[in-house]
């Protein structure tokens, strides 16, 4: 068991290592990108990578405070579902209006890998192998798909 500080340091160490590992990788549009804190350029739309002591998750998170507008974004993503599935090479889970850990209503399109721990350095290669191709695929998908959301800005 780790203290809060030790756990925080291990998480920071992993994300720093992942960021350094990904730094030479350019975006689909050929520019440098902060892969750990990916900017979609669209308010309330986030690409999130998370890892804890049991699993790793990568998600498109829709966090618009208006549930109706959030649902419009979700529906727009559903229109692009086949393109997303082709880009990531797998089918992801879709959740409309779930409540996050802070009581906030969000919608998510995600996939996860169970049985890995960010606190076990031996799992870090598996975590990197899980996150890397998926965040690159999301970037590739987003380089074209973001224009479908212009009317919702």
Q: Where are the alpha helices (DSSP H) in 29-123?
A: 67-79, 81-88
Kindly give the confidence (pLDDT) of every residue in the chain, 153 residues in length, as a single tens digit, with 9 standing for 90 and above: 678 888 899 999 999 999 999 999 999 999 999 999 999 999 999 999 999 999 999 999 999 999 999 999 999 999 999 999 999 999 999 999 999 888 899 999 999 999 999 999 999 999 999 999 999 999 999 999 999 988 776
Closest of 51, 33, 28 to residue 125, by C-alpha: 51
Position 22 in a domain: no
Position 7 in a domain: no
Domain count across the chain? 1
Q: What is the pLDDT of residues 87-114, one digit of tens each?
A: 999 999 999 999 988 889 999 999 999 9
Q: Which domain holds residue 113?
A: 39-152
Position 2 in a domain: no
């Amino acid at each position: 068991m780790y203290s809060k500080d030790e756990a925080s340091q291990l998480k920071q160490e992993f994300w720093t290592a992942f960021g350094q590992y990904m730094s030479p990788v350019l975006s689909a549009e050929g520019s440098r990108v902060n892969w750990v804190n990916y900017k979609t350029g669209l308010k309330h739309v986030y690409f999130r990578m998370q890892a804890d002591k049991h699993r790793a998750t990568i998600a498109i998170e829709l966090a618009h405070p208006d549930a109706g507008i959030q649902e419009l974004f979700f529906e727009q993503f559903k229109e692009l579902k086949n393109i997303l599935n082709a880009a990531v090479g797998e089918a992801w889970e879709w959740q409309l209006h779930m409540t996050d850990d802070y009581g906030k209503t969000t919608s998510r399109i995600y996939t996860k890998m169970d049985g890995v721990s960010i606190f076990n350095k031996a799992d870090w290669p598996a975590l990197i192998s899980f996150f890397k191709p998926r965040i690159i695929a999301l970037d590739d998908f987003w380089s074209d798909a973001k224009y479908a959301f212009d009317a919702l800005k």
